[in-house]
Amino acid sequence: MSKLKGQVVLITGGARGVGAETARRLVAKGAKVVLVDLDRAPLAALEAELGPANATSIAGDVVELEDMEAAVAHAVSTFGGVDVVMANAGIASYGSVLAVDPETFRRVIDVNVNGVFHTVRAALPALIERKGYVLVVSSLAAYAAGPGLVAYHASKAGAEHFANALAPEVASMGVKVGSAHMSWIDTPLVQDAKKDLSAFRKMLDALPGPLGQTTSVESCADAFVAGIERRARRISVPKWVNAIRWLKPALTTRLGERETARRAAEIVPLMDQEVLALGRSMSARTAGLEEREQSVTTAP
Tell me whether residue 3 is in a domain.
Answer: no
**Tally of CA atoms within 13 A in the half-sphere of 201 that contains its CB:** 8
In the beta sheet, which residues pair with residue 217?
none
Domain that holds residue 116: 8-298
Whether 1 is in a domain gets the answer no
Mean pLDDT of 217-239: 97
pLDDT tens digits, residue range 133-165? 999 999 999 998 888 999 999 999 999 999 999
d(CA 152, CA 145): 9
Cβ atoms within 10 Å, residue 52: 9
Length of the chain: 300
Would you say residue 154 lies in a domain? yes
In a domain, 172, yes or no: yes
Q: Which residues contact 176 (CB under 8 A, 6 or more apart)?
A: 132, 133, 134, 167, 231, 233
Q: How many domains does the chain have?
A: 1
Looking at the domain assignment, is residue 198 inside a domain? yes
Q: What is the pTM of this model?
A: 0.93
Could you give the residue numbers annotated as active site?
Answer: 152
Average pLDDT, rounded, for the chain: 92
Q: Residue 59: give its domain's CATH number.
A: 3.40.50.720
Q: What is the pLDDT of residues 246-288, one digit of tens each?
A: 988 988 888 888 888 888 898 999 899 999 999 999 888 888 8
